[in-house]
Amino acid sequence: MKNTYKTVFVGSSSVGKTTIMAQYLYQKIEDSFGPTIGLDFVSTTINILGKQVRLQLWDTAGQERFNSLIPNYTRNSFITIIVYDLSNEDSFDRIDYWINNLVKINDPENKIKILIVANKKDLVDKTRLDELRKKGKKKAKKYNAIFVETCALNYEDISDLVKAIHELIEEDIRNNPEEEDIYKEIINLDDRRDSNCCGGIW
């Protein structure tokens, strides 16, 4: 179990990364959201399996001039979320670029969990949605990623994404409990040292 879970949002400009983050954190969005410049970072505490863990959310800029910086941000991430706009074919076509050039470059052992998020489903005609959904799922299967559809205008419509993030963290906690035990031993050792200490620096 990790104490902090780093989650990075990447994707083309204006696909809704910032709006999704705002819905996750605050259950609301602001009309004044502009394009992210470089990087935005927020940290929050969530309860998973009765344990308090810290979730870091990194929002990266989609403009090409910032692309060279993104590999530095995805390094050591637990989850990378690649967002595209269902109504924008170009943003879907860029998924391969984001994964191969900005995520995999820092993940030779394939440890980073990848979520592919099809956002703005409200802008797509229902007659096309099934076709676009199949394309998204096929792309996710190619990279062993999780596929999720969202509409970031409402918190309820990102619930599948929230569930996917929490389930990945829950899986890590279940599979790696020994990390928590080591952490507890360190704390207990520090407590014993404090109890026998006659003085210190304040």
Give the domain range for residue 83: 4-195
SS3 content of the chain, % helix, strand, coil (to 5): 50, 25, 30
Q: Within a domain: residue 94?
A: yes
What the block records as the tokens of 12 is 């083309």
Which runs of consecutive H residues, i.e. helices, occur in the chain? 17-26, 70-74, 89-93, 95-97, 126-142, 159-175, 177-195
Residue 51: give its domain's CATH number: 3.40.50.300
What the block records as the tokens of 71 is 């590999």
Report if pTM > 0.75.
Answer: yes
Please, which residues bridge with residue 44 across strands? 55
Q: Within a domain: residue 10?
A: yes
pLDDT tens digits, one per residue of 24-33: 988 876 654 4
d(C-alpha 125, C-alpha 131), whole Å: 11
Q: Within a domain: residue 201?
A: no
Query: Does 198 have pLDDT greater than 50?
Result: no
d(C-alpha 20, C-alpha 40), whole Å: 13
Q: Within a domain: residue 105?
A: yes
Q: Within a domain: residue 79?
A: yes
Convert 156-192 to b/e letters by CB count within 10 Å (16 or more is b). Answer: ebbeebbebbbebbeebbeeeeeeeeeeeeeeeeeee
Q: Within a domain: residue 200?
A: no
pLDDT tens digits, one per residue of 102-152: 777 777 777 899 999 999 999 999 899 999 999 999 999 999 999 999 998
Rg (CA), the chain: 19
Q: Within a domain: residue 202?
A: no
Could you tell me what percent of the chain has a pLDDT over 70?
A: 77
Higher pLDDT, 34 or 128: 128
Total number of domains constituting the chain: 1
